[in-house]
A and B are shown apart, each in its own frame.
Chain A
């Protein structure tokens, strides 16, 4: 098989000296550009290994001449980005939500930032545009507030949340009336509650209903004599036509028997105070904000 290398005049190259049944193999060298590229790659790799963290050592690892880490690079980017907004962020930090909303410039900045934060963090429940979802999560664009719609109320709610493990979270619990009232009484109460928001039913007719007294004895303490609700305790108003958990008699009966109560995470620790301020101003600006 093996024989002498010989010069091949047709291609101008030498052969490898191998031949099989008279067929010979050319020993064409690798293209020069390719060899140069390879060598350059080796050189770059060696330089890289000195500049950047590349090698483990027996106790820790070699950190590289540049001292680069992805974490410090991130910190630099963050600092740079924050610096561009520093003028506004400092004022957000220094002012109360009321002052932020009162200043045109600051409010514009807060609403823009708040909107981005809202879409990422709040829209899951309250929906893009804050329309809420009936049966689950309240709308934030109307003026029917469970826990209050002033800037300070919203700020408090967003910071500490509702019915969670945060120490300052808003807390309240509606008891189940399953064992306290009979089924007929519950049905009568539900009928009365529905009538409270029905403008076609006069007060006299309503007060003559069998559920009227039951309501006064069992529900009025929290929901108010006229169904006006109690924001201190997050008690919903019953005299309006906005129903979170459904507007049918059956839904109201279910709520008396097995009350649903929403829970909201505390955002203060997760997003930071500045972000919560911006969010509060944004939510307040959606239409239902109160003075």
Chain B
């Protein structure tokens, strides 16, 4: 085809451009719909408990992801320091994922269970009190902000509409679950049946109130702690052939 013809006809130029871009796009996008699962399933993953989910919202709101990543890359230095590299399933219930792209502070993908609740509290209130060289700001105010959870079922319902498998029961009992997890009292057995491995207890050393601090620590304490990597084959991270 004569090049001058394309250059002189906007309609033709537009059509041909569209065709070229479509090919490039389709090659990348179509197979994703065809693959049975792009996220190989692993044992142990479950949706966040309502309290953890609200903690996650606070993590997002405060912009923690701008300084902390949640993605351990498969490099030796990272694996030696942070533990097993992150696998796709570990962020399958994250909407949106909080992988981050910058590490001013350390990676948090496996911080769950690494420190006690008391440490997390002391650190969030005054980071320099436990890590003298830290440049992290204080988040002490979270301790004084009551957690708002009247609308938690709506949050969970929104997540359900994008594919997180919250059941009707989970939605119904969401408020009770928050109270049970943040106080360690109430029907905790029932909570643990729905959400295995959930950390229970008063996270912010203030049993009289459920605060945003409770939610944030509950979230931090579950990060990367759901999949048991000591089980052989737990991290079979390539899609089934």
Contacts and interface: CB of A to CB of B under 8 A. Distances in A.
Contact of B31 (A57, A74, A164): A57
Q: How large is the interface on A (under 10, 10 to 19, 20 to 34, 35 or more residues)?
A: 20 to 34
Interface in A252-291: 262-265, 269-270
A78 B31 contact: no
Interface string B114-126: 1111110011000
A11 B34 CA distance: 57
A59 interface: yes
Interface stretch (A34-42, A118-126, A183-191): A118-126
Interface residues of B, number: 35
A93 to B, nearest CB: 15
A192 interface: no
A60 B123 CA distance: 44
A73 B32 CA distance: 25
Contact of A125 (B28, B74, B85, B130): B130
Dominant SS at the B interface?
A: loop
A264 B118 CA distance: 9
B180 to A, nearest CB: 16
Given A58-B34, A124-B131, A74 B113 contact: no
B135 to A, nearest CB: 15
Nearest to A73: B74
A87 interface: no
A136 B118 contact: yes
Main DSSP-derived SS at the A contact region: mixed
Interface string B203-238: 000000000000000000000000010100000011
A120 B81 contact: yes
Interface of B: 27-28, 31-32, 34-36, 73-76, 79, 81, 83, 85, 113-119, 122-123, 129-131, 199, 228, 230, 237-241
Given A58-B31, A125-B119, 12 more contacts: A58-B34, A59-B35, A60-B239, A71-B237, A73-B74, A74-B76, A74-B79, A121-B114, A133-B130, A262-B118, A265-B113, A270-B113
